[in-house]
Amino acid sequence: MNDLVRQHTALSESDLEWLHLLVSEWQLLSDLSFADLVLWVPTLDGTRYVSVAQMRPNTGPTSYQDDMIGHLVPRGRRPLLDAALDEGRIVREGDPEWREEVPVRVESIPVRREGRVLGVIARNTNLLTVRTPSRLELTYLQSASDLAQMIAAGTFPFPGEAVDMDSSPRAGDGLIRLDADGIVQYASPNALSAYHRLGLAADLVGQHLGQITAELAPSRGPVDEALVKLASGYAPREAEVEGNGGVIQLRAIPLKPKGTRIGSLVLLRDVTELRRRERELITKDATIREIHHRVKNNLQTVAALLRLQARRMDSDQGREALNEAVRRVGSIAIVHETLSQNLDERVEFDEIADRVIAMVAEISPGKVTCRRNGRFGILDAEVATPLSMVLTEILQNALEHAFAQGEQGTVEVTAVRGEPRADARLLITVQDDGRGLPEGFDPQRAGNLGLQIVRTLVEGELGGTFDMLPGGRRGTKVVLDIPVQPQK
């Protein structure tokens, strides 16, 4: 709609915002009218109309099989549009039109804002299935007529009350019509069922909806008064009411077709099961985060015990082996700590990589510089945990074997994430400028525990490949190529 309005019309940005507000609300008008709606706006030169938005009803058959958005119509071809635009009134004159052997009643509703008519809504009703209307349909049509008059007067939609139609109740979910005193004139079957869920045992018709609602959802203090006013429809508001184990979502729409409130529409939806599932998910999320938090704490306890044991070791070789185990346990603890702070089982691995690099770099403080280039991105937990251990082993191996005691050097970790598609891959390179590989060294057969861990995790758990190569003039280059899920 933005492009069409800016390209073809002279409407300002504030006018465009009003049209957006209208379009966010007009599903209600379409459903209450059992009719298609098309919004026509006059072009910049005033010789044509351009259709910028369209809505089909959920309550009846459509009268337009094709998409009308973007169509241009010359002035004079549709007299009802001209009359509504020029005279600023709802136009209903004329015989039904025939479209593909379907009779269609056409009405035009001017869209007014601050005294100016911005465009015209063409309301098109398919008459093929017309029959004697029920009480519900009569209430729908009367409410639609009131809303149409409010649109023509510029009092609907309500400024500053943008509605999310995906979550807001719709006419088919449940509808209650109130008079000016808040007394129920009509309640649809779905609306009555929703109030029965709250514990109502009687009928709603003839009852004061605000008082009944406050009694079914007891609270204390000023909240009672606010709930009474909301359910009485005095102002456009949304709220949820909970009582007797049920939850309903309410939306009040004051009806002021001639400037004075004659009553209200209350749309409502039974959201009891939805809220129950949401609470279950919140509980499960909290439980999962708590599990990760406890696993992290337990791993840190294990690392502390290993560190304490290492200090009591007389053998340098045994002490170093325990310190390596401390770093391995610590890398897993970092992943679980990150997972304990997330709502899902995915982590931003760049932060984990930086913490692993800092942890491993402590074995040669001030001598070897470690840094990261590129981004790992978001990874699933089942990838992040083994990858953190692999990164720990490779860095630990480089710092221990690539440089002599006190020698200065650099270890650089580079991550390149492939295109976000189903077969995306993550290429990781760890390059050092140390002494290089020994003569005849074969990384696929080397028996040291660290490389065995790397091979097992990369090829077994991650389904990737691992290789160690000479780093050019000097040093060693480790290359990891692993498949990853696309980032969301």
Band (pLDDT 50/70/90 cuts) for residue 29 is very high
pLDDT of residue 220: 52
pLDDT of residue 481: 92
Q: Looking at the whole model, is its pTM more than 0.95?
A: no
* DSSP labels, 424-444: -EEEEEEEE-SS-PPTT--TT
Between 372 and 224, the higher pLDDT residue = 372
> How much is the mean pLDDT over the chain?
87
Pairwise CA distance, residues 443 & 445, whole Å? 5
Q: What is the mean pLDDT of residues 256-269?
A: 93
H runs (alpha helix) in 34-188 = 79-87, 135-153
pLDDT of residue 423: 65
In order of 26, 34, 83, 95, 175, the CA distances from 171 in angstroms are 11, 11, 30, 29, 6
Would you say residue 106 has pLDDT above 70? yes
Over residues 390-409, the pLDDT tens digits come to 998 888 888 888 887 778 88
Q: What is the mean pLDDT of residues 303-324?
A: 86
pLDDT of residue 280: 85
> Omega before 157 cis (within 30°)?
yes
Over residues 403-448, the pLDDT tens digits come to 877 788 889 999 998 776 656 889 999 999 888 888 777 777 766 7
pLDDT above 70: percentage of residues in the chain? 94
Band (pLDDT 50/70/90 cuts) for residue 183 is very high
pLDDT of residue 248: 94
pLDDT of residue 131: 73
Q: Which residues pair with 106 in a beta bridge?
A: 124
